[in-house]
Structure 1
């Protein structure tokens, strides 16, 4: 989860004067976890649904509301700069959306510079999916001139000095030679042209989403900044800019907007206008439980949550929500904020008035049989998370990325999607346990999730069984024998057909179909490709199978 580090003195400078021990008691009430602390410093882990709290300014703003030091909607004035950003039509198929803001009267020292860089990187993976969806650039405004251009250009044109480098490099060279370039090259390397941001004098500010130019590097003498946010999701781009501007606005930064000139429209960013949503008092009391709030109580708690509120009637309150609160999507989210401000620890717990008689689902009865069978064949069961990453699930397994369920606000960059297969989970396990003795024989029975438009939830859960064997002489015959034993003991008749699954060695992989009176199964088995074995840093052959229960 996102972790930010700050000093008690940082909060005092922002006007919060409470004892250290009390602060440590309060922060978990705001949806955080104290990772570590000493007499000077706190390391705090925040849930990724609150990216506005990933800066010290955001933490301060929430704290002030919780302790009633400042309540109500924070208001940040936005003036028009009169400057424009011209968006090249060629960019629309590469990284089509951009948002800009100017912030004046900022104050940086060495500590503040580190904090803003950490804030930027936290936003990169909480909202930006490690820069794929959103990337941020923060520039020294005093060394450049507006208007600005967002263009697409050849990999061999527009050479510039990248951040923390001393020589000019072409875009192609940056992707091949620069540390950040090689790390994020996959985001744009498939295109004939790359994105660039230039100022009025054709100075290169950045090559998003890869790296900024050395020209606009921030220093402790920087007083005015230009913020750019680019990405593939316009809503996420604008939300990210709003969070950054609100954070600077909290400490007196003077925010100015710019016009973004697309081929077919003109918009102005940032737009810090609040939104509104109604919440029902009876729903608050029902969901929170143990409380008896009235409309006035609800309004007062919303003020503490740094919103404004208008009582409509005795059962309905209008909540005015700041632009940086991108986590509020439903009335229930408002109720959660009311519960937090009421203070979770004050809510009286009570047992629900429900009595039921449970019985075991048929699937779990079958699962026990499968588990006993695999253990009898010498396998050890593992239980892994349904969450994985596109890199592990597709790239490292040589699979083509397709439609899948993504995590909107992932806790870590290696937990960004819900798996559709179990085999990469087995490979991750083998990678983590490569120091253990061989042979290793592991299996997992678990859920996978597929998109399914016709279902009410838009997804479909499918149970699968997968197993893997790793040792020096593991081969196709062994895994075929294992699969045949599994299906025979489960009373399935097995049919084998050829397969071109790229995860396995060509010619040493097969599809399977099992039929029985109780139902059918499909799947595949074979020898894992050496390239994939290397991707997971393993040194011995791996054979594997996966069976889907229809």
Structure 2
């Protein structure tokens, strides 16, 4: 999770005059964790759902509310700059969305420039999925002039001097020779053109999402900046810009909006209009537990959370949520903030007012039988996370990406979705254990999640069993024999049919169906494709199967 470092004096400069020991005791009550501290500075870990607290300005803003020192919805004025950003329709195929803002009167003296750079990189990680979803550029506004153009350029055109270099480079040279270009080249590898941001005189500000130009490099003397945010998700792009602008506004930055002109529409960014969410008094007391808060008391607690609220009646309030609080998705999220401001330590622990008689669920009984069968056949059990990434789940497995459950605030860039198959997790396990002796025989019994609009929570959970075998002579005959033995021991009959599963070698893969008195199964087995094997940096043949228990 992201960790930010700041000095005690930084908080004092922002209006939080608190002794070190009291600060260290108070911070964990605000949904954070102290990583380390000394006499001068402190390292604090905030959960990824609060990217607004990844700057010292954001921490101070939250702290002032928590201490009842400064309450209510922060109000930031946004003036129109009269400047435009014109989006080339051709860039829509590459990186379609962009948001711009100008901020005047910033202060980069002392450690502030370093803090801003750290803030930018933390946002890249928490919201941007390491720049794939969102990338941020911060530029010296005094050396460029509007209107700006967001274009797609050929690989060998429009050279410019990238950061930390002293000679112009083409986009292709940057991707193959510059350290940042090499690190992030995979984000543009599927395209024959690359995005650029230019000013009125065709001076290049940056090549998103790779690197900025030396022309607009920030230093301690810069007072006026332009912030650009580009990405694949328009909502995330705009949210990121709102967080950055709000952070600068906390220390006196003057926000000026810009018009972003697309081929079919024009929008103004940033838009700091508050969200609105109603919250109910009875639900808040029920979820917190052991409280009897009134509407007036909840209004005060919401004010400390830096929200505004209007009392509709004794049981309902309309809550105004600042634009930088992108973690508020539901009424329950508002209740969480009420609980934090009430102080978690003040809530009395209670036993649930129910009595139950425990018994083992029938699924776990059958799961124990599966384990016994697989272990009896010489397999070793693996238990992996349900979270994976699109790259591992689809790209490396040569599968077409389908609708799936995404993680709104991923903690790491390799845990961005909930799996619909177990095979890629087992392949990752083999990849991490290449040093172990062969043959390797592994299996996993686990849950997968599918989107299902017919369900109240929009998802369906399903149980699967998967296994892989890796050694120099692994082949289709071996995995068919293994599949047959497994199903016979589990009491299912077996019917096979042709399969075109792209993760496997054509002609050496089959679909399987089966029935028993307890229900039915479906799945597949075969020889993993050499390309998939290579994608996971393995060197020996891999065979495997996966079956899903339908009822």
TM-score range, shorter chain: over 0.9
Taking the TM superposition and a 5 Å limit, the aligned residue runs for 1:523-534 are: 523-534=523-534
Taking the TM superposition and a 5 Å limit, the aligned residue runs for 1:186-201 are: 186-201=186-201
Measure, in 2, the Cα distance between the counterparts of 1:531 and 1:25: 53
Partner of 1:90: 90
Partner of 2:418: 418
Q: CA deviation at 1:110?
A: 6.2
Measure, in 2, the Cα distance between the counterparts of 1:455 and 1:179: 47
Please state if 1:320 is matched with 2:320. yes
Query: SS of 1:161's equivalent?
Result: coil
Partner of 1:14: 14
Partner of 2:462: 462
Q: In the TM superposition, what whole-angstrom CA distance separates every residue of 1:235-277 from its partner, at most 9, and x where no partner exists? A: 2221111100000111111111112223333322112222333
Q: CA deviation at 1:303?
A: 1.3
Measure, in 2, the Cα distance between the counterparts of 1:190 and 1:100: 26
Partner of 1:259: 259
Q: In the TM superposition, what whole-angstrom CA distance separates every residue of 1:54-78 from its partner, at most 9, and x where no partner exists? A: 1111111111111122222222222
Partner of 1:310: 310
Partner of 1:164: 164
Q: In the TM superposition, what whole-angstrom CA distance separates every residue of 1:422-442 from its partner, at most 9, and x where no partner exists? A: 111112222233333443322
Alpha-carbon RMSD across the aligned residues, in angstroms, is 2.1
Bigger Cα displacement from structure 2, 225-234 vs 343-352? 225-234
Taking the TM superposition and a 5 Å limit, the aligned residue runs for 1:144-223 are: 144-223=144-223
Partner of 2:392: 392
Measure, in 2, the Cα distance between the counterparts of 1:473 and 1:89: 52
Q: In the TM superposition, what whole-angstrom CA distance separates every residue of 1:484-517 from its partner, at most 9, and x where no partner exists? A: 2111111222233343433234444333233334
Query: SS of 1:368's equivalent?
Result: helix
Q: TM-score, normalised by structure 1?
A: 0.94
Measure, in 1, the Cα distance between the counterparts of 2:80 and 2:62: 28
Partner of 2:499: 499
Measure, in 2, the Cα distance between the counterparts of 1:261 and 1:494: 59
Partner of 1:134: 134
Q: CA 1:423/1:6 → structure 2, altered by over 3 Å: closer, same or farther?
A: same
Partner of 1:509: 509
Partner of 2:101: 101
Bigger Cα displacement from structure 2, 473-482 vs 347-356? 473-482
Partner of 1:240: 240
Aligned length: 550
Measure, in 2, the Cα distance between the counterparts of 1:196 and 1:494: 56
Partner of 1:231: 231
Q: CA deviation at 1:324?
A: 0.7
Query: SS of 2:400's equivalent?
Result: coil
Measure, in 2, the Cα distance between the counterparts of 1:374 and 1:195: 51
Partner of 1:444: 444
Measure, in 1, the Cα distance between the counterparts of 2:455 and 2:320: 34
Bigger Cα displacement from structure 2, 82-91 vs 383-392? 82-91
Measure, in 2, the Cα distance between the counterparts of 1:13 and 1:473: 68
Bigger Cα displacement from structure 2, 478-487 vs 364-373? 478-487
Partner of 1:120: 120
Measure, in 1, the Cα distance between the counterparts of 2:524 and 2:36: 47
Partner of 1:42: 42
Q: Which runs of 5+ in 2 are unaligned?
A: none
Q: CA deviation at 1:227?
A: 0.2
Query: SS of 1:128's equivalent?
Result: coil
Q: CA 1:5/1:508 → structure 2, altered by over 3 Å: closer, same or farther?
A: farther
Q: CA deviation at 1:186?
A: 3.8
Taking the TM superposition and a 5 Å limit, the aligned residue runs for 1:272-283 are: 272-283=272-283
Bigger Cα displacement from structure 2, 416-425 vs 67-76? 67-76
